[in-house]
Amino acid sequence: MTAAIKRPGWTRAALGTVLAAAFGFGLVIVLRAISGLDVFQTEQTGHPHIVVPLVTGPLGFLAGFGCFDYWLRWAAGMPTIPEDHSQHGATSWRDYFRFNTDHKVIGIQYIVTTFFFFFLGGLLAMLVRAELAQPGSQIVDPSTYNGLFSTHAVLMIFVFVIPVFAGIANYVLPLMIGAPDMAFPRLNALSFWMLPLAGLLFIGAFLAPGGAFDTGWTGYAPLSTGAPLGQSFFNLGVQFAGASSIATALNFLVTIITMRAPGMTFWRMPLLVWANLSTSLLVVAATPFIAGAQFMVLFDRAIGTQFFEFAGGGDVVSYQHIFWFYSHPAVYIMMLPGFGIISEVISTHARKPIFGYRLMALALIGIVVLSYSVWAHHMFVAGMFSWLRVPMMITTLLIAVPTGIKIFSWLGTLFYGKIHTYSTAMLFALAFIVTFTIGGISGVMLGMVPIDIHVSDTYFIVAHIHFVLFGGSVFTIFAGIYHWFPKMTGRMYDEKLGRVHFWGTLLGTWGTFIPMHWVGMDGMPRRVADYATQFGDWNLLISVFAFMLGAAQLVFLYNMVVSWRYGPRADANPWRANTIEWQVSSPPPIFNFDEIPRVVGGPYEFGVPGARHAIMGGEGAEVKKPEPTVVGST
Amino acid sequence: MTRRLPIAKMFAVTLVLTALISVVMVPIRWNGQGASTAAGPIDTLTDVMIVLSAFVFSLVMVMLFYALWKFKAKPGDESDGEPIHGNTRLEVAWTLIPTIIVLFGAGYSWAVLEDIEDPAENPLKVQVFSQQFAWSFGYPGKGEAFSEGELHVPLDRQVHFKMHALDVIHSFWVPEWRIKKDNVPGITTTAIVTPNKPGTYQLICTELCGFGHATMRAKVVVEPAAEFRKWVAGLKRKVPAPLMEAVVQDTEANPLPLGPGGA
Q: What are phi and psi of A358, to 5 degrees?
A: -65, -40
Is the model's pLDDT at A620 over the cut of 80? no
Contact B80 A525 (CB under 8 A): no
Q: For A78-200, list the strands marked E by DSSP.
A: none
Q: How far is CA A62 from the centre of its chain?
A: 22
Contact A449 B109 (CB under 8 A): yes
Identify whether the C-beta of residue A277 lies closer than 8 Å to the C-beta of residue A333: no
Chain B residue closest in CA terms to A629:
B85
Amino acid at A428: F
Element (H, E) at A211: none
Q: For residue A353, which residues of chain B lie inside 8 Å, CB to CB?
A: 83-85
Distance from CA of A248 to the nearest CA of B (A): 33
pLDDT band of A39, cuts 50, 70, 90: confident
Per-residue pLDDT, averaged over B69-82, amounts to 91
Contact B113 A390 (CB under 8 A): yes
Is the model's pLDDT at A267 over the cut of 70? yes
Contact B173 A397 (CB under 8 A): no
Which of residues 149 through 178 in chain B touch A, CB cutoff 8 A?
A: 167-169, 171, 173, 175, 178
Q: How many Å apart are CA A442 and CA A453, to the nearest integer?
A: 14
Largest CA distance in chain A: 82
pLDDT band of A210, cuts 50, 70, 90: confident
Mean pLDDT across chain B: 91
Assess B187–A contact: CB distance below 8 Å, yes or no: yes
Tell me: the pLDDT tens digits for A119-168? 999 999 999 999 999 998 889 999 999 999 999 999 999 999 999 999 99
- Give the model's pLDDT for residue B241: 85
Q: Could you say which of A314, A451, A634 has the minimum Cβ distance to residue B87?
A: A634
Q: How many Å apart are CA A414 and CA A355, to the nearest integer?
A: 9
Distance from CA of B143 to the nearest CA of A (A): 26
Non-local CB neighbours of B8 within 8 Å, separated by 6+ positions: none
pLDDT band of B261, cuts 50, 70, 90: very low
What is the end-to-end Cα distance of chain B in Å, rounded?
A: 62
Which of residues 80 through 99 in chain B touch A, CB cutoff 8 A?
A: 80-88, 90-91, 94-95, 98-99
Distance from CA of A542 to the nearest CA of B (A): 18
Assess B10–A contact: CB distance below 8 Å, yes or no: no
Alpha helices in A448-584 (DSSP H): 449-455, 459-468, 475-489, 495-521, 536-566
> May I ask the CATH class of domain B124-253?
mainly beta
In the A/B pair of chains, how many CB contacts fall below 8 A?
285
Mean pLDDT across chain A: 93
pLDDT band of A634, cuts 50, 70, 90: very low
Number of H helices, E strands in chain A: 21, 2
A143-to-A137, A366, A495, B190 alpha-carbon distances in Å: 12, 42, 43, 30
A292-to-A53, A212, A279 alpha-carbon distances in Å: 20, 21, 20
Which residues belong to CATH 2.60.40.420 in chain B?
124-253
- Give the model's pLDDT for residue A78: 86
Is the model's pLDDT at B2 over the cut of 80? no
Share of chain A above pLDDT 90, in %: 83
Q: For residue A398, which residues of chain B lie inside 8 Å, CB to CB?
A: 99, 102-103
Q: Could you say which of B116, B182, B187 has the minimum Cβ distance to residue A381?
A: B182
A47-to-A28, A38, B233 alpha-carbon distances in Å: 10, 11, 51
Q: How many Å apart are CA A41 and CA A49, to the nearest integer?
A: 8
Alpha helices in A133-161 (DSSP H): 142-156
- Give the model's pLDDT for residue A410: 97
- Give the model's pLDDT for residue B257: 40
Contact B78 A419 (CB under 8 A): no
Q: Which has more pLDDT, B259 or A549?
A: A549
Per-residue pLDDT, averaged over A300-323, amounts to 91
Q: For residue B85, which residues of chain A lie inside 8 Å, CB to CB?
A: 353-357, 630-634
Q: How many Å apart are CA A316 and CA A312, to the nearest integer?
A: 11
Q: Which of these ranges, A31-45, B81-95, B149-163, has the smallest mean pLDDT?
A: A31-45
Assess B71–A contact: CB distance below 8 Å, yes or no: yes
Fold of A100-566: Cytochrome C Oxidase; Chain A (1.20.210)
Assess B130–A contact: CB distance below 8 Å, yes or no: no
- Mapping DSSP onto H, E and C, the string for B100-122 reads HHHHHHHHHHHHHHHHHCCCCCC
Burial of B96 (0-12, 13-18, 19+ CB in 10 A): exposed
Distance from CA of A189 to the nearest CA of B (A): 38
| Beta-ladder partners of B147 | B137
Per-residue pLDDT, averaged over A409-420, amounts to 96
Strands B150-154 and B217-223, sheet pairing: parallel
pLDDT band of A560, cuts 50, 70, 90: very high
Name the pTM for this structure.
0.94
Q: How many Å apart are CA A410 and CA A286, to the nearest integer?
A: 28
Strands B124-131 and B159-165, sheet pairing: parallel
Q: How many Å apart are CA A294 and CA A238, to the nearest integer?
A: 7
Is the model's pLDDT at B66 over the cut of 90? yes
Identify whether the C-beta of residue A192 lies closer than 8 Å to the C-beta of residue A153: no
Q: How many Å apart are CA A500 and CA A493, to the nearest integer?
A: 13
Amino acid at B167: D
Q: Which of these ranges, A19-23, A296-300, B239-243, has the smallest mean pLDDT?
A: B239-243
Element (H, E) at A374: none
Q: How many Å apart are CA B57 and CA B61, to the nearest integer?
A: 6
Contact A316 B80 (CB under 8 A): no
Per-residue pLDDT, averaged over B225-248, amounts to 89
- Give the model's pLDDT for residue A629: 52
- For chain A, which residues make up each domain, given as ranges? 2-71, 100-566
| Beta-ladder partners of B173 | B180, B204
- Give the model's pLDDT for residue B255: 47
Q: Which of these ranges, A249-258, A304-313, A429-438, B152-161, has the smallest mean pLDDT?
A: A304-313
Distance from CA of B185 to the nearest CA of A (A): 7
- Mapping DSSP onto H, E and C, the string for A498-516 reads HHHHHHHHHHHHHHHHHHH
- Give the model's pLDDT for residue A633: 43
Q: Which has more pLDDT, A147 or A624?
A: A147
Distance from CA of B122 to the nearest CA of A (A): 22
Identify whether the C-beta of residue A264 lies closer than 8 Å to the C-beta of residue A177: yes
Amino acid at A412: G
Q: How many Å apart are CA A103 and CA A215, to the nearest integer?
A: 36
